[in-house]
Amino acid sequence: MQKLAVYTLGFLQVPYIRKMLRISGWQLRPGPLALRATAVGVWGRKPRAMRGMRAARRRGLPLVSIEDAFLRSVLPGPKSAPAGLVLDDIGIYFDASQPSKLENILNFDVLDKPELLDRAGEGIAFLRHYGLSKYNPVPRGCAVLPEKGYVLVVDQTRGDASITCGGAQDHTFATMLAKARADHPDKPIIIRTHPAVGPRAKQGHFEVADLDAKMRLMDEEINPWELLEGACAVYCVTSQMGFEAILAGHRPVVFGQPFYAGWGLTEDQQACPRRQRRLSVEQLFAGAMLRYPLWVDLASGCVCSFETAAQGLLARAKHHWANQTPSVAVGMRRWKRAQISRFLNRPAFQEAPIKLARLAQKRGARVVVWANKETPALKAACANHGVPLWRMEDGFLRSNGLGAALTPAESVVLDDLGIYYDPVRPSRLERLIEASPTLPEAALARARRLIEALNTEEISKYNLDLAPVIMPPMGKRRVILVPGQVEDDASIRLGAGEITTNSGLLQAARKANPEAYIIYKPHPDVEAGLRPGQIENAGEFADMVAEQAPILPLIHSASEIWTITSLTGFEALLRGKAVTCLGMPFYAGWGLTRDLSPPCPRRSAKPSLEGLAHATLIDYPLYLDPETGQPCAPELLVRRLKSGGTKPRLKLRMLARLQGRFASYTHLWR
Q: What pLDDT, in 10s, does the model give residues 484-494?
A: 999 988 999 99
Q: Check pLDDT > 50 for residue 111.
A: yes
d(CA 18, CA 28): 7
Give the model's pLDDT for residue 503: 95
| H/E segment holding residue 268 | strand 267-268
Given 1.20.1740, 3.40.50, 1.10.3210, 3.40.190, which CATH number is that of 436-651? 3.40.50
d(CA 86, CA 69): 6
Q: Burial code of 555-565, b = ≥16 C-beta within 10 A, e = fewer?
A: bbbbebbbbbb
Residue pLDDT, tens place only, 355-404: 999 999 999 999 999 999 999 999 999 999 999 999 999 999 999 887 76
Give the model's pLDDT for residue 16: 83
Q: Are strands 411-415 and 253-254 parallel, antiparallel or unpaired?
A: unpaired
Helices (H) and strands (E) in the chain, counts: 24, 25
Of the listed ranges 221-230, 526-535, 573-582, the one predicted with least confidence: 526-535
* Length of the chain measured in residues: 670
To the nearest whole number, what is the mean pLDDT of the chain? 92
Q: Is there a contact between 609 and 600 (Cβ–Cβ < 8 Å)?
A: no
Share of the chain above pLDDT 70, in %: 95
- Could you please state the CATH topology (level 3) that the domain comprising 138-297 is classified under: Rossmann fold (3.40.50)
First-to-final CA distance of the chain: 52
DSSP 32: G
Residue pLDDT, tens place only, 322-337: 999 999 999 999 999 9
Averaged pLDDT, 435-464: 95
Q: Check pLDDT > 80 for residue 656.
A: no
Averaged pLDDT, 570-595: 98
Give the model's pLDDT for residue 142: 87
Q: Check pLDDT > 60 for residue 146.
A: yes
d(CA 106, CA 612): 39
Give the model's pLDDT for residue 92: 97
d(CA 391, CA 343): 13
Crossing angle, helix 240-247 and helix 114-130, to 10 degrees? Answer: 110
DSSP 254: E
Q: Check pLDDT > 80 for residue 139.
A: yes
Q: Are strands 411-415 and 621-623 parallel, antiparallel or unpaired?
A: antiparallel
For residue 255, the one-letter residue type is: F
How is 340-389 classified by DSSP, letter by letter? HHHHTTS-EE---HHHHHHHHHHHT-EEEEEGGG--HHHHHHHHHTT--E
d(CA 549, CA 281): 52
91 pLDDT tier (thresholds 50, 70, 90): very high
d(CA 440, CA 610): 11
Residue pLDDT, tens place only, 156-175: 999 999 999 999 999 999 99
509 pLDDT tier (thresholds 50, 70, 90): very high
3-state secondary structure 43-56: ECCCCCHHHHHHHH
Averaged pLDDT, 553-561: 95
Backbone angles phi, psi at 5, to 5 degrees: -80, 130
d(CA 612, CA 590): 9
- Say if domain 2-106 classifies as CATH 3.30.1490: no
Residue pLDDT, tens place only, 640-651: 999 876 555 555
Other CB atoms within a 10 A radius of the CB of residue 590 amount to 22
DSSP 594: E
How many Cα atoms within 13 Å fall on the side-chain side of residue 411? Answer: 30
CA dihedral defined by 63, 65, 66, 69, rounded to 10 degrees?
Answer: -140
Query: Which residues on neighbouring strands pair with residue 579, listed in sequence order?
Result: 561
Residue pLDDT, tens place only, 3-32: 999 998 888 878 888 888 988 889 999 988
Contacts of 397 (CB under 8 A, 6+ apart): 410, 411, 454, 459, 461, 617, 621, 623, 634, 637, 638, 641
Q: Check pLDDT > 90 for residue 281.
A: yes
d(CA 271, CA 57): 30
DSSP 501: S
Give the model's pLDDT for residue 669: 47
DSSP 133: -
Question: Alpha carbon of 534 to those of 402, 489, 660: distances in Å?
Answer: 18, 13, 17
The larger pLDDT score, comparing residue 301 to residue 242, is at 242
DSSP 288: I
Give the model's pLDDT for residue 280: 98
The larger pLDDT score, comparing residue 489 to residue 279, is at 279
Other CB atoms within a 10 A radius of the CB of residue 178 amount to 10
Of the listed ranges 145-149, 528-532, 612-616, the one predicted with least confidence: 528-532
Phi-psi region of 234 (alpha: psi -120 to 50; beta: other; left: phi over 0): beta
The larger pLDDT score, comparing residue 404 to residue 80, is at 80
Q: SS3 of 482, please?
A: strand
Residue ranges, comma separated, of all CATH 3.40.50 domains in the chain are 2-106, 138-297, 436-651
Give the model's pLDDT for residue 532: 82
Q: Check pLDDT > 80 for residue 473.
A: no
Backbone angles phi, psi at 377, to 5 degrees: -65, -40
The larger pLDDT score, comparing residue 470 to residue 637, is at 637
Question: Alpha carbon of 162 to those of 67, 167, 168, 258, 418: distances in Å?
Answer: 12, 9, 9, 8, 47
Contacts of 420 (CB under 8 A, 6+ apart): 393, 413, 427, 428, 429, 430, 586, 620
Q: How far, rounded to the nearest angstrom, does the alpha carbon of residue 328 sit from its chain's CA centroid?
A: 23
Among 411-425, 524-538, 648-662, top mean pLDDT goes to 411-425
